[in-house]
Structure 1
Amino acid sequence: MANGTLLYAQSGGVTAVINATASAVIQTARARKVKVLAARNGILGALREDLIDTSKESLAAIRALAHTPGGAFGSCRVKLKSLEADRAKYERLLDVLRAHDVRWFLYNGGNDSADTALKVSRLAQEFGYPLTCIGVPKTIDNDLAVTDCCPGFGSAAKYTAVSVREAALDVAAMADTSTKVFVYEAMGRHAGWLAAAAGLAAQHEGDAPHLILFPERAYDEAAFLAQVDKVVKRVGYCVVVASEGIRTADGTFVADAGGGKDAFGHTQLGGVASHLAGRVKDVLGYKVHWTLPDYLQRSARHIASKTDVEQAMAVGVAAVEYALKGMNSMMPVIVRTSDAPYRWKIAPASLDKIANHEKTMPANFLRKDGYGITAAARRYLEPLIRGENPPPYGRDGLPRYIALKNVAMRKKLAPM
């Protein structure tokens, strides 16, 4: 058995496939005779010395994680500040790692998580503690820098495209005497990747979605309402997909929920679909329906993309391999090597090139009128939603998801 233990933690909003990454991490480490601990509720568990002994789980349970959504060990939205501002917390974290002989730390999250992993790595170096820190990519927003795409996005994109296509068939059937406009709200604060994925639902001229609103383009209400009216008169109905992060020209979020900021300093958003629906009804007089899928977009494991599941597991395997090789402050990222046929590989990238960076939609992915996607966007997006990887179903007709025992390690330190 290798000397030391490996600590794995999940961060931020979970995805339909983050547990697939966890499954791959634990199975790969077990094959190398490395004990894996998991922090309960992300970085908070590490700070509280609330650690889970994954060796208490059967191999069958660990394998079942690969088809189970959510975060098996719990996650959290907590961002540590700079080493100077939050030094006591970082030193506490180092004390916990020492107490449990943690030599490898894998943090599964997005931009902010990559930043935390990088800071922990630097602090360990400062104190001369032998620790290898690896960031593991995860986010449905697909806004992580360097990597071609991000595990979690492909499945959320598939859910979005399928949901929009199915809802559009419903609207089309009722448009003559009922709903004329349907508004679908997609996640995406600063980047419109999920909204763009809805564009895959349209295969022919006139297909829904007819209008897509991206954070990368300023929202102009008068122009938008004119487009809605134009589409209804031409097609008979209009399906709109709006990213939650759309802003007006002055930078104000259309869907600012007035709830202040979250732990990452992000404005709380919510309700862009209801707002747009209200404006369409009040100004144009059309009957409108709207939907806010919210967590459904990131939890829909039953409709996961096979590509996404495979990539989620591949980064988990690579993360352990990088860690055991001592490749400190790195992240396994996805590199696209071919569009047709679609091919990809995993490669290492430095955390300092990823931490606190953000990848938005390229200009050539957005249609010139700003309301749809281009052929280039379609070439990029389509392979990411390909293939099916459904969970096993029980006789009750529901997916058979796993709930781990999550046995806690005995604490060795005084509470924080």
Structure 2
Amino acid sequence: MSAKKPGNLIIGQSGGATAVINASLVGAVEAALADQRIGGIYGMHHGIEGLLKEDIIDLGNQPNSVWSQLLHTPSAALGSCRYKLQEHDLERTIEILRRYDIHYMLYIGGNDSADTAHRLAGAARQSNYELQIISIPKTIDNDLPFTDHCPGYGSAARFLAQATQDSTMNTLSIPWHYPVKVIETMGRDAGWLTASAALGKRSESDAPHILLLPEKPFNEQSFLTQVEDIYKQLGFVIVVVAEAMRNEKGNALGSSGQAGMDAFHHPLLSGAAQYLVELVKRELKLRARFDKPGDLQRMSSTHISAPDRDEAYLVGKMGVHALLAGESDKMITLVRDAQAPYHCTTGLAALSEVANVQRLMPDEYLNASKTMVTQAFYDYALPLIGEPLIHHTQLEMTRIRS
């Protein structure tokens, strides 16, 4: 299809929502509204699943004020889904797009959403239907390949880094009550989000003291030894663990174990933090408790990173520009400038190389034991969380003697 031929655009959001996914929607809509080569601007209500139900929203007819407000609103305004397209869905999807004269599509999401977009691009080619599809990256897991980082990660990382420091203050107020605390983060097979909990750490004694990332299988004895050593030195221990942590046999930690599978056959896991708490209590005879921030790490509007929001807007905007330039079956990427100060431009990656591929943390970002991050990780991640974190002050415990 000619890049200059007018056509209707449809946009969808998919997968786990983030604090800045709506910024990508705003960037895309505002870019589309500004270009006469785009006809109608539609939204899928609850992603590809909504499109299959023909649950379609008119985005071009929204009040003008909604976009500036939505820029700062967490979660997925269009509604999200975790639906894997079946073979019989492909033909129906193309038929629906044809009926609504939709020739441009943006799908905002992570690995699985890239797979959906790639399969639809292939189905359109097979059907000889003129359709251009661009994937807009989004995931707090930060595990998409070919992009420096993923929109959504910076804000979630900021939340976890600050939450770890804040929660540690409670432990410090009465360390003998629960001297061991375990904080459980989201994250499937990559440890980017768990690692971000260390971004407020300024010295070796600062929390967190142990990171348990999926990149290294859990060894019970090594963990217990490390906890015991830190406890003897500091009197308290803060551990941060990925919810998808597995042992050396590949089994998920936690008595509750696997709680089923999602539509893309990813295991639904729970119980890692509780497992570690029970292990410490049983083997080390230390009182322990856990914190599970859950959806707060995705949704905290008070912890939105300004660079994260700006880049989420940028990739949405550039998605429209890519469509109008004739691109298809690609994902927008963020490309970090090599020179300071921190700045990103955008590029493109083929969806055939992105779909269902995960990027794990590189070895240079982790210490030898893979239980703490290195300076290279701080250099990489700190620019993504925006303004400096709040660092708390403690009294100097100078005792008065009679």
Which TM-score applies when normalising by structure 1? 0.89
> Shift of residue 270 of structure 1?
1.0
- 2:7 paired residue number: 4
Please give the alpha-carbon distance, in whole angstroms, between the structure 1 residues aligned to 2:188 and 2:84.
Answer: 18
* SS of equivalent to 2:230: helix
CA RMSD of aligned residues (A): 1.4
% of aligned pairs identical? 38
Please give the alpha-carbon distance, in whole angstroms, between the structure 2 residues aligned to 1:365 and 1:124.
Answer: 41
Please give the alpha-carbon distance, in whole angstroms, between the structure 1 residues aligned to 2:72 and 2:339.
Answer: 27
The answer on whether the counterparts of 1:42 and 1:74 sit within 8 Å (CA) in structure 2 is: yes
Please give the alpha-carbon distance, in whole angstroms, between the structure 1 residues aligned to 2:340 and 2:310.
Answer: 18
- 2:84 paired residue number: 79
Cα deviation per residue 1:175-197 (whole Å; 9 max; x = unaligned)?
Answer: 1x412011100111100001110
5+ long unaligned stretches in structure 2? 389-402
Please give the alpha-carbon distance, in whole angstroms, between the structure 2 residues aligned to 1:150 and 1:45.
Answer: 25
- 1:230 paired residue number: 229
> Shift of residue 387 of structure 1?
3.0
Please give the alpha-carbon distance, in whole angstroms, between the structure 2 residues aligned to 1:331 and 1:269.
Answer: 28
Cα deviation per residue 1:358-388 (whole Å; 9 max; x = unaligned)?
Answer: 1001011111122100111111111111139
> Shift of residue 271 of structure 1?
1.7
Please give the alpha-carbon distance, in whole angstroms, between the structure 1 residues aligned to 2:144 and 2:267.
Answer: 19
Cα deviation per residue 1:217-276 (whole Å; 9 max; x = unaligned)?
Answer: 010111101111111110110000001111111111114633221111011101211111
- 2:395 paired residue number: none
- 2:69 paired residue number: 64
- 2:209 paired residue number: 210
Q: Which amino acid aligns with 2:274?
A: S
Please give the alpha-carbon distance, in whole angstroms, between the structure 2 residues aligned to 1:257 and 1:106.
Answer: 36
- 1:27 paired residue number: 30
- 1:136 paired residue number: 136
1:166 equivalent to 2:166? Answer yes
> Shift of residue 3 of structure 1?
2.3
5+ long unaligned stretches in structure 1? 389-416
Cα deviation per residue 1:334-374 (whole Å; 9 max; x = unaligned)?
Answer: 01113642121111221112111110010111111221001
Which TM-score applies when normalising by structure 2? 0.92
> Shift of residue 109 of structure 1?
0.7
The answer on whether the counterparts of 1:336 and 1:344 sit within 8 Å (CA) in structure 2 is: yes
The answer on whether the counterparts of 2:253 and 2:272 sit within 8 Å (CA) in structure 1 is: yes
* SS of equivalent to 1:338: coil
- 2:344 paired residue number: 344
The answer on whether the counterparts of 2:20 and 2:312 sit within 8 Å (CA) in structure 1 is: yes
Q: Which residue, 41, 44, 52 being the options, matches 2:46? A: 41
- 1:251 paired residue number: 250
> Shift of residue 283 of structure 1?
1.4
The answer on whether the counterparts of 1:211 and 1:239 sit within 8 Å (CA) in structure 2 is: yes
The answer on whether the counterparts of 2:252 and 2:258 sit within 8 Å (CA) in structure 1 is: no
> Shift of residue 2 of structure 1?
6.3
Please give the alpha-carbon distance, in whole angstroms, between the structure 2 residues aligned to 1:69 and 1:370.
Answer: 32
* Change in CA separation of 1:2 and 1:57 when aligned onto 2, cut-off 3 Å: farther
Cα deviation per residue 1:38-87 (whole Å; 9 max; x = unaligned)?
Answer: 00111111111110011231111022111001110111111124xxxx1x
1:111 equivalent to 2:111? Answer yes
The answer on whether the counterparts of 1:335 and 1:344 sit within 8 Å (CA) in structure 2 is: yes
Cα deviation per residue 1:119-140 (whole Å; 9 max; x = unaligned)?
Answer: 1111111221111010110000
Q: How does 1:11-410 map to 2 (within 5 A)?
A: 11-33=14-36, 34=38, 35-81=40-86, 86=87, 88-175=88-175, 177-255=176-254, 257-338=257-338, 340-387=340-387
> Shift of residue 111 of structure 1?
1.1
> Shift of residue 326 of structure 1?
1.4
